[in-house]
Amino acid sequence: MITDIGLFMRENFPNGDPEFYRITAEELEMYNVKNKDYAGGGKDPNGNFNRVATTLAMYPGLKLSDPRVISLVYMMKQLDQVFWSLNRGYEGEVEGLDARLADIHIYAKITRVQNRNMTERDMAPAFETVDEMATVSVVPDNCAPMTVEEMVESRIGCECGCRVNSAPDTHTFDSVDEMVEARNCAGDCGCRNELS
């Protein structure tokens, strides 16, 4: 299979590096084999993504900045593949069911560790000290990465960058201490971004 695709690419796209085409052919083969495990036998080649997205849509309050949510999303990918394989009576080509079940177990344990660590900090998304907060870089959609102190200097009230320089006092902060204390964007932009 790789040889035929490589030949096709070289004949139809003769101006590229042959190694680029070999890598592309390897990726196509890997995509095909993995897609057989995750979505094969179904009408939707992106079925795994769509099924997980449908499940997550039932929880609109999930915060993607919560590491526990990320661990569980990774676990959902594996769990969906197991359900899909069991649904088809299929063991899996890339990894068998036992390996995927082990992955699920590991992601669950990672989430438990993350949850315990967060519980020890009273689940507070804020920083313990001003110095700790100042070392974190924040990347607004319309700005270069900046520290919290740089945000205060430029009078950006939250990481969305919605009120650059001309923000009212209710939205921006005059000191890092004020930002730590406020924690949430309180402006009229409606973003409700957390600063932590």
Asked whether residue 140 falls in the same domain as residue 171, the answer is yes
Q: What are the pLDDT tens digits along the chain (196 aa)?
A: 555 777 788 788 889 898 998 898 899 999 999 998 888 877 899 999 999 999 999 999 988 999 999 999 999 999 999 999 999 999 988 899 999 999 999 999 999 999 999 865 545 444 455 555 555 444 344 445 556 666 556 555 455 554 433 334 444 566 666 665 655 454 545 454 554 4
* 109/156 same-domain check: no
Q: Does 189 map to a domain?
A: no
- 194 located within any domain: no
In this structure, the answer to whether residues 90 and 154 fall within a common structural domain is no
Q: What is the DSSP string of 108-161?
A: HHHHHHHHHHHHHTTT--S-SSHHHHHTSEE--TTS--EEHHHHHHHT--STT-
Q: What is the pTM of this model?
A: 0.54
Q: What is the DSSP letter of 7?
A: H
Q: Which structural domain range is residue 110 located in? A: 44-123
Looking at the 3D structure of the chain, how many domains does it have?
3
Q: Name the DSSP class of 52.
A: H
User: Do 108 and 61 fall within a single domain?
Assistant: yes
